[in-house]
Amino acid sequence: MTQVHIPENPREREQLQSSTRTSQTALPSRYEEQTPRHFSFMDIIIALAIVAAITLLVLAATRWAAPLTPTVAITLSPTQLPIYAGYSLLRMILAYILSLIFTLIYGHVAATRRQAGRVMVPLLDILQSIPILSFLPAVVLALVAAFPHSNIGLELASILLIFTSQAWNMTFSFYHSVRTLPSDLQEFTAIARLRPWQRFLKLEVPSSMIGLTWNSMMSWAGGWFFLMASEQFVLGDRSFQLPGLGSYLQAAANTGNIAALLMGMCTLIVLIILLDFLFWRPLVAWADKFKLEQNSDNDPPTSPVLDLLRNSALIDFLRRRVFRPIGEQLARLLNRWQPLPDNSTLAKQSFGQKNALPTIVTRGLQLLFLAVVLYSLWNMFLLLARVDLATWGHLLLAAGATWLRTLAALAIGVTWAVPAGVAIGLSPRWSRLLQPVVQVVASIPATAFFPVLLPLLIALPGGLSLAATVLMLLGTQWYILFNVIAGAMAIPGDLKEATIIYHVTSWRRWRTLILPTIFPYLVTGMLTASGGAWNASIVSEFVQFNNKTESTLGLGASIAAAANAGNFAVLLAGTVLMAAVVVLINRLLWKRLYTLAERRYTLG
């Protein structure tokens, strides 16, 4: 055995340590390939995909910069479907990027700053409960007025409306993950003296990755659900329309063209399958490495696309020559922005000394925010004063009817989604087989088929009231399913092995392992499903097709009718009432369940 000579001279020891560090840094890390990768046919395909994406952006930018065309002629020819699909896909991608940025910033601040969270979480409840049609007139008219000579305003309005159908459940998922971080990992970050940005990137984001991935898929499906409403909308006597799959499906449904409707749905299904294969399945396989467990999974999720990307010479070149240098520069900037506190800084903080300038700026921003809120409340009060007591009574009765439909949709969704989600999440084989199926079924907008199925549903006992409950179920049950799948996939493998070793089976396994582990995810799913059901009521209780209008008693129908007639006073009254009901339910029920999940059902 070779012995290492350690010199006694301190300078020689320092030189030895320096040479050792140099030799160690010269060695390739375990994440790098020791042999150079060679370009292959797959790199050509990746390069062509990048060129195609740039081409789509150029075409979209050309249309955005074109003169304003509020209404376009939607051609039901099959040859236009690829172009419409590209436009809709670009809007969905931009809305998802905006939703992801909002999720990470808003969820982090709400979860890590207690004082801010007391305001931000109830505000998130209110934002989730406001239906899309309630702020659609203000958003569309404001953006069109801001860009009167181009289509940018209409495109931004569509993206923002899709954003409102994607952001809330992603934010709730990330907030829940940060609030339920294992205590030992939090203590380690404190001991390691990680900077706030390092704690965010090395602990909060990885710990939330599985839940955030599945909620992203659910958000994407929710975006498809409201695609028709975000690409074609009527405000009183004004009509706004954008070319896309949503407008194509709406035009086909309005004209009763079943052949065009089926072609549009087939195009949407093919697009969803391609997205699942090329993006979501690789993302699920990549996110599996962030599972909190001590033993590796024997059958982790896989993706051939992810394997090809990992072995791609082009991706490796971009990572080494572009992304890594950019990341290192950003790390240096963030380290300068958030330096480690020295002893003098800690002493000042311990004696309570504060800088006066940030306090002055903070107080000024608070006063400005308060002034804006008071001004908005005063104008809201003036508009609500126009609503008479009879209308308020009708809205309260309608809110009760919508609440009963929401309870029915939640009960049915939980009954089948919990066992199905656990079965899919615990079995990698079933996950590989059923993930694309679930993604496709959840992404198909039920509103497209609703005009065709409506005559059959109205003929059933209950009429449109039952049909509205069915449509609300079709739009909200996936929130529960996707969150349960994420919770089941996040169960550590060592805990599953422990149940096998100790012969914990049947109901006892559900009671001691499965239900406690998925409980936080189930609460998030039911919370977002509840808000989604209230939002879906505006398209399920008030339906227009073939120049006919069908409606039933419900708060969603009242809001949709007011938006269609341009009655902004009743529209605001219905929106305020819906937000108040949803926030009240969240405070009395879901907040207590969240607290229970944080206190009793956190891994750590």
The CATH number covering residue 525 comes to 1.10.3720.10
Residue 30 located in a structural domain: no
Please give the pLDDT value at position 351.
38
Of the candidates 447, 436, 464, 102, which has an alpha carbon nearest to the alpha carbon of residue 273? Answer: 436
Q: Backbone phi, then psi, for 544, in 5-degree steps? A: -125, 130
Q: Which residues contact 447 (CB under 8 A, 6 or more apart)?
A: 225, 228, 229, 471, 539
List residues bridging with 377 in a β-sheet.
none
Q: Would 15 be classed as within a structural domain? A: no
**Model confidence band, residue 102 (pLDDT cutoffs 50, 70, 90):** very high
Do 251 and 320 belong to one domain?
no
Pairwise pLDDT comparison (515 vs 300), residue with the higher score? 515
For position 10, what pLDDT does the model report? 47
Q: Which has the closest alpha carbon to 563: 583, 544, 588, 590? A: 544
Please tell me whether residues 282 and 310 are part of one structural domain: no
Question: Which has the minimum average pLDDT: 1-5, 140-144, 394-398, 448-452?
Answer: 1-5
pLDDT above 90 as % of the chain: 12
Can you point out the beta strands (E) in 325-411? none
The whole-number pLDDT of residue 236 equals: 57
Question: Between β-strands 232-235 and 238-241, what pairing exists: parallel, antiparallel or unpaired?
Answer: antiparallel
Q: What integer pLDDT is reported at residue 33 of this predicted model?
A: 46
Is the same domain home to 321 and 464?
Answer: no
In this structure, the answer to whether residues 141 and 205 fall within a common structural domain is: yes
User: Among residues of the chain, what percentage have pLDDT more than 70?
Assistant: 83
Any domain includes 367: no
Based on the fold, state whether residues 272 and 317 are members of the same structural domain.
no
How confident is residue 21, by pLDDT bands cut at 50, 70 and 90?
very low
Mean pLDDT throughout 10-30? 43
232 versus 560: the higher-pLDDT residue is 560
The answer to whether residue 500 is domain-embedded is yes
**Where does the pLDDT of residue 359 fall: very low under 50, low under 70, confident under 90, or very high at 90 and above?**
low
Write out the residue range of the structural domain in which residue 308 sits: 302-329
In a domain, 40, yes or no: no
- pLDDT tens digit sequence for 125-159: 777 777 666 666 677 778 888 888 888 888 888 88
Residues 137 and 256 in one domain: yes
CA–CA gap between residue 366 and residue 359 (Å, rounded) = 10
User: What would the mean pLDDT of 375-390 be, rounded to a whole number?
Assistant: 87
357 part of a folded domain? no
pLDDT computed for residue 537 by the predictor: 84
Q: Specify whether 245 is located in the same domain as 319.
A: no
Are 446 and 307 in a shared domain? Answer: no
Both 592 and 462 in one domain: the answer is yes
Residue 355 inside a domain? The answer is: no
Helix (H) or strand (E) segment spanning residue 75? none
**Do 306 and 230 fall into the same domain?**
no
Which single residue is written with the structure tokens 């404001």? 142
What mean pLDDT is predicted for residues 527-535?
A: 83
Q: For tokens 């009521």, what's the residue? A: 537
CB 559, CB 578: distance < 8 Å: yes
Mean pLDDT across 10-24:
44
Rounded to a whole number, what is the largest CA-CA distance in the chain?
Answer: 95
Residue range 416-460, pLDDT digits in tens: 999 999 998 888 788 777 877 887 777 776 666 666 666 777 777
Residue owning tokens 């059901």 = 533
Nearest residue to 545 (alpha-carbon basis) of 259, 258, 253, 229: 253
279 and 316 fall within a common domain = no
Give the span between the Cα atoms of 29 and 34, in whole angstroms: 9
Q: Which of 430, 437, 476 is nearest to 269 (CA)?
A: 437
The pair of structure tokens assigned to 320 is 């080494």
CA 550 to chain centre: 31
pLDDT of 95 > 90? The answer is: yes
CA distance 295 to 90: 40
Comparing 82 with 547, the larger pLDDT belongs to 82
Assess whether pLDDT exceeds 50 at residue 1: no
Query: Which pair of tokens denotes residue 48?
Result: 């062509």
Q: What is the pLDDT of residue 559?
A: 87
Which range is most confident: 23-27, 47-51, 440-444, 462-466?
47-51
Q: Could you give the number of structural domains in the chain?
A: 2
**Token pair for 461:** 């006992």
Average pLDDT over residues 105-111: 92
Beta bridge partners of 545: 548
Average pLDDT over residues 197-204: 89
- Out of 90-94, 114-118, 210-214, 517-521, pick the least confident: 114-118
Q: What pLDDT, on the 0 to 100 scale, is given for residue 395?
A: 93
Residues whose CB is less than 8 angstroms from the CB of residue 504 and which lie 6 or more positions away in sequence, other chains included: 498, 512, 513
pTM over the 0.95 mark: no
Residue 147: CB atoms within 10 A of its CB come to: 16
Tokens (6 digits) for 387? 């609503």
Torsion of the alpha carbons at 224, 228, 232 and 235, rounded to the nearest 10: -110
Mean pLDDT over residues 322-337, rounded? 88
If you average pLDDT over residues 507-535, what whole number do you get? 87
The predicted pLDDT at position 356 comes to 45
Report the pLDDT value the prediction gives residue 269, as an integer from 0 to 100: 85
Residues 440 and 521 in one domain: yes
pLDDT tier for residue 511 given thresholds of 50, 70 and 90? confident
Is residue 372 one of the residues assigned to a domain? Answer: no
CA distance 533 to 478: 11
What does the block give as tokens for 418? 């919990």
